[in-house]
């Protein structure tokens, strides 16, 4: 049933998909007290829990939830037409540079649109982007994830195998893509403040960049009004890495905060960013035990 639903959504105009997504966002918000509490608490933590912004964030979260169906199954020509670059030619210039490229696509705007648009670039086949993802548990969803791949876009599982794939890609001078604000597993992160509260922060991008000399660039595809497509912004992370993993993770989070404040309605505030993964002790618990 799920594959059929994805195929149906992919045949609709993007504006219809985004309208349905907005309705789904509101339905989720109204029916799930846990989700509603998380979204409002995260907005309040960032000092952004204003009614108008909250309403927009609810709708955008729903759009993000279903737009992948459209993006994964539409022809590359459709993807190329619906994404406009804020700085035309900027992505092509990055791909033409021999330096390996690490694209960070946070839960801001449409990270799927960023990846799919990358695959439309003429140089993408020679310089594919290896994208880290968590394989779903359900077989139907795993098959759908397979439809995400295109020439120029290679999925890599969020495991040691996938990390090695990313490193090999960067060592070959290619591109790797990561969601930097995903909560990592035990041993794969460090506690660093995110909007003033400790969040277990992924350190993989920092370790990959240090080992490969890759250039780090944030990629953000903002949704345009009325389903008119997306605007791609590429923002370099030029902070020099100190080698102190906690300090560098904090710099990364501060850069991400600045991006979010420029487009706060399109951040995924309902994501439980402050959870402690299994086996990881929260900083407050550790400090209480030592007192």
pLDDT, tens digit (0-9, with 9 covering 90-100), for 214-245: 999 999 999 999 999 999 999 999 888 888 99
220 domain residue, yes or no: yes
CB 50 within 8 A of CB 9: no
50-56: long-range contacts, CB 8 A cutoff, minimum separation 24: 53/264, 53/265, 56/265
284 domain residue, yes or no: no
1 domain residue, yes or no: no
Q: What is the structure's pLDDT at 138?
A: 62
The partner residues of 83 in beta bridges, in order of sequence, read: 230
Residue 284: count other Cβ atoms within 10 Å of its Cβ: 10
- What are phi and psi for residue 41, nearest 5 degrees? -65, -40
102 domain residue, yes or no: yes
Tell whether the torsion through CA atoms of 106, 109, 112 and 117 is positive or negative.
negative
Q: What is the structure's pLDDT at 143?
A: 61
Q: Which residues contact 38 (CB under 8 A, 6 or more apart)?
A: 269, 270, 271, 272
- Among residues 165, 86, 141, 85, which one has the least CA distance to residue 118? 85
If one counts the domains in the chain, the total is 1
DSSP assignment, residue 12?
Answer: S
Task: Give the structural domain span for 61.
Answer: 9-274
Q: Which residues contact 191 (CB under 8 A, 6 or more apart)?
A: 198, 199, 200, 201, 246, 282, 283
Secondary structure (3-state) at 103:
strand
- Among residues 187, 178, 180, which one has the least CA distance to residue 250? 180
127 domain residue, yes or no: yes
Residue with tokens 């922060």: 201
Residue 124: count other Cβ atoms within 10 Å of its Cβ: 21
* The pairing of beta strand 189-194 with beta strand 83-85: unpaired
* The pairing of beta strand 129-133 with beta strand 153-157: parallel
4 domain residue, yes or no: no
289 domain residue, yes or no: no
150 domain residue, yes or no: yes
- Among residues 42, 91, 7, which one has the least CA distance to residue 197? 42
Its pTM stands at 0.91
Q: What is the structure's pLDDT at 135?
A: 64
Alpha-carbon distances of 19 from 25, 231, 246, rounded to whole Å: 10, 18, 41
Tokens of 231: 């605007």
Q: What is the structure's pLDDT at 150?
A: 80
Low-confidence residues of the chain: pLDDT under 70: 1-3, 135-149, 284-291
């Amino acid at each position: 049933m799920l594959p059929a639903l994805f195929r149906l959504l992919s045949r609709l105009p993007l504006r219809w998909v985004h309208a349905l997504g907005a309705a789904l966002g509101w339905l989720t918000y109204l029916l799930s007290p846990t989700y509603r509490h998380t979204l409002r608490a995260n907005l309040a933590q960032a000092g952004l829990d204003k009614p108008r912004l909250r309403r927009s964030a609810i709708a955008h979260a729903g759009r993000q939830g279903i737009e992948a169906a459209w993006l994964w199954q539409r022809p590359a020509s459709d993807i190329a037409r619906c994404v406009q670059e804020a700085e035309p030619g900027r992505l092509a210039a990055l791909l033409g540079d021999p330096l390996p490229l690490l694209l960070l696509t946070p839960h801001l705007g449409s990270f799927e649109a960023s990846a799919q648009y990358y695959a439309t670039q003429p140089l993408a086949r020679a310089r594919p982007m290896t994208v880290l993802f968590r394989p779903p548990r359900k077989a139907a969803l795993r098959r759908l994830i397979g439809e995400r791949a295109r020439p120029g876009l290679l999925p890599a599982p969020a495991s040691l195998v996938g990390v090695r794939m990313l490193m090999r890609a960067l060592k070959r001078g290619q591109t790797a893509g990561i969601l930097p604000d995903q909560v990592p597993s035990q041993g794969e992160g460090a506690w660093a403040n995110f909007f003033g509260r400790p969040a277990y922060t992924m350190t993989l991008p920092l370790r990959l960049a240090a080992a490969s000399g890759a250039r780090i660039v944030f990629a953000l595809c903002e949704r345009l009004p009325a389903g008119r497509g997306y605007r791609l912004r590429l923002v370099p992370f030029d902070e020099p890495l100190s080698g102190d993993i906690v300090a560098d993770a904090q710099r990364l989070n501060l850069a991400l905060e600045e991006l979010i404040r420029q487009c706060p309605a399109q951040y995924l505030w309902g994501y439980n960013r402050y959870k402690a993964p299994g086996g990881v002790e929260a900083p407050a618990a550790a400090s209480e035990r030592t007192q």
